[in-house]
Structure 1
Amino acid sequence: MNKDQVKGAAKVAAGKVQQKVGKAIGSEKQQVKGLGKQIEGKSQKAVGNAKEGLKDAAKGR
């Protein structure tokens, strides 16, 4: 696991919390921000997965 994977997973988790808090307090703005964080985190995690895949492929040669 690399830093992009870890940071991405953390952003996804934080976004889920923010979205649920926004829903609990009736704040659509916070819900949208939470969804945005989740998308950002998933993207960062995907970058990390790609880096990890390249690293594994290079080791396999």
Structure 2
Amino acid sequence: MLHSWTTGVEMYKYVQNLKKEMKEEAWQEFINGKGANLVSTAILAKESENRVLIIFKWK
């Protein structure tokens, strides 16, 4: 397991950059699949300077 700290603002910027880099079909697959939690959390925290803990688990 790996973890990282970031702010809601930085997480939202990261998600926006992902969206710019992906084609529309790939983006839709990402937000409906493995990226759903990341994207929904980033949208909710987009104006927050509070720290967010992200935990990565290998499958």
Report if TM-score (shorter chain) is over 0.5.
no
Please give the range of the TM-score, normalised by the shorter of the 2 chains.
Answer: 0.3 to 0.5
The structure with more strand, counted as a fraction of residues: 2
Q: TM-score, normalised by structure 1?
A: 0.39
Instruction: Tell me which of the two structures has the higher relative contact order, counting C-alpha pairs closer than 8 angstroms and 6 or more residues apart.
Output: 2
Q: TM-score, normalised by structure 2?
A: 0.40
Which has more radius of gyration?
A: 1
